[in-house]
Amino acid sequence: MAAIHANGAGVRHAIARALATANLAPSDAVFRVKRARVELDRDGDVARAEVSIELEDARPLAARSPQELRGLVNPDGAHKLMAWLPGDPARGVAPYFMDILAVSWSRWLEQQPAASLPTGVDRYCPVVGVDLPAARDFAAAVGKRLPTAEEWSLAWGGRELPWGDAPDPICGRVGRPRYDVLPEGGLHPPTPEGIFDLGAWLWQWLDDGRVAGCGPASEGPARPAPGLWPVGVRLVQDA
């Protein structure tokens, strides 16, 4: 196991740079996010991101205990940038994988060649403005699906916010951005399992047509989608 620290222009960039020091691409890397934070400039944009990850070797899922698997990204080498979560038999949730970052415009455009990147938006910002059928179709095309409300709740954890009980005034923001502003992903500290932006500025589709995220747990884990903005996509996969 090796620990690697790296800086970047954003969290995704910092993770990629950390992996590059070990000559690894995200599709090949098995790692655990130990720490991540961003620094914002006076306009609230990311000026610098830093991450600390621990590298491990890919092994079959059956070769690891649930404790070893929890929060491990791509443990078997077949789940790029997805973290393993244990589920909860008492709530009828089997173990599953969840994207550590919401689907970006870059990922979306790979599967949707007819789509175009909005003017002024970075390719690594989360895709928004996607309706439920399009989100479901995208998930199916890449062999994944949208999360259930129970899976979302388990990934969130028992705190008011996924990374703790209070907003972090340095590491990002809580609440909705202006309608014409699309912040990048990874603004907030990750959950203990290394999943970013579950309770941040971005609503995200659930499989039942509701959306979740974009505020503290006390505001409710899921809501009807009409009238809410921005709505993005995060995918899960059965373990």
Q: What is the pLDDT tens value at each position of the chain, 239 positions in all?
A: 678 999 988 888 899 999 999 999 888 899 999 988 888 777 767 778 899 999 999 999 999 999 999 999 999 999 999 999 999 999 999 999 999 999 999 999 998 888 888 888 888 889 998 999 999 999 999 999 999 999 999 999 988 888 877 766 455 455 555 556 677 778 778 899 999 988 877 899 999 999 998 877 777 778 898 888 889 999 999 99
DSSP state string for the chain? -EEEEEEESSHHHHHHHHHHTTT--TTT-EEEEEEEEEEE-TTS-EEEEEEEEEEE----GGGS-HHHHTT-BSTTSSSTTEEEE--BGGGTB--EEEESSPPBHHHHHHH-TT--PPTT--TTSBP-S--HHHHHHHHHHTT-BPPPHHHHHHHH-SSSBTTBSS--SSS---SPPPTT--PPS--SPPPTT----SSSS-EEE-TTSEEEESS-GGG-SEEE-TT---EE---EEE-
pLDDT tens digits, 88-146 = 999 999 999 999 999 999 999 998 888 888 888 888 889 998 999 999 999 999 999 99
Q: Report pLDDT for 30.
A: 96
Question: CA separation (Å) from 208 to 75, 204, 225, 227?
Answer: 29, 12, 10, 17
User: Measured in whole angstroms, how far is the alpha carbon of residue 83 from the centre of its chain?
Assistant: 9
The domains found in the chain, sorted by start residue, are 69-238 (3.90.1580.10)
pLDDT tens digits, 59-70 = 999 999 999 999
Q: Which of 210, 185, 209, 179 is nearest to 198 (CA)?
A: 185
